[in-house]
Amino acid sequence: MKEKARRLWTALKETITQVHRRKATEILLFELSEMENIFALLVLGSFIGIPSPNPILTLELLPHMEEELWTMVSRADFAQDPLGGLISLLELD
């Protein structure tokens, strides 16, 4: 009986630990995405009228924004011709 209770207690502790780890991981991922958004806003904010940091600093940080720049350019291209973008995905001639 004691062994069964001990195994139950161990399983309960492991389950609680996993739940807390999952919640902590979700919170960290959310914070990371928010920090990336703030970073992008600092570097690319001048495009929407937000005062940007020193231009030299902005130019030094731009290489870290390569993925966001590609996303911005592709969305701008897609906004001009959305039907053409969809057809290009289908690779129709």
pLDDT one digit per residue (tens) for the chain, 93 residues: 888 889 989 999 999 999 999 999 999 999 998 988 888 888 778 778 888 778 887 788 888 888 888 887 887 777 777 777 677 777 765
In this structure, are residues 45 and 52 in contact, taking their beta carbons and an 8 Å threshold?
yes
Q: What is the pTM of this model?
A: 0.54
The CA distances from residue 69 to 2, 17, 22, 65, 73, in Å, are: 61, 40, 32, 6, 6
